[in-house]
Amino acid sequence: MGVSWGFSPYSVGPNPPPHQKRACGRFETPGTAIGLFAQPRNLLSPSYLWMLRDILTLQPAERRELRRGKLAGLSLGDYFRTRHFAPRLLGDYFAPMGAAIWSASASEMLDFPAENFVAFRQSPPAAI
């Protein structure tokens, strides 16, 4: 087709509308690592720090579980509930990210197949 292409940075920075559980501006996902503490109150937020810890430990765990077939038949919501990850990890990070990628609502992402979501995250060059 002769269409040029190139890699581009990817980031998700949702700011939910006021009628959702989290009001506008109350929580925003940074597009870069520098923005992790753009909202200073997060420095002292145990739930936010727990979420960050889980983000760092999740990728090796999900890679192992995908390889061993342990994600088959699980929804994203079930996967997060059974693994006892920080509640904010799904609600404030993965559900909005998946909703942006697959043009779905964050609540629809709870029913999304965990195996597909993790496989997508493990595929280069997504690196999310």
In angstroms, the CA 121 to CA 128 distance is 6
**Domain with 99 in it:** 41-122
52: in domain? yes
Among all chains, which residue has been given the structure tokens 């087709």?
1
Count how many domains the chain has: 1
CB atoms within 10 A of CB 80: 22
106: in domain? yes
Sign of CA dihedral 29, 115, 9, 32: positive
65: in domain? yes
Among all chains, which residue has been given the structure tokens 């609540």?
107
pLDDT by residue (tens digit) across 42-78? 888 898 888 888 888 888 888 899 999 999 999 999 9
15: in domain? no
User: Model-level pTM?
Assistant: 0.65
47: in domain? yes
99: in domain? yes
87: in domain? yes
Q: Give the residue, 15 or 40, on which the prediction is more confident.
A: 40
50: in domain? yes
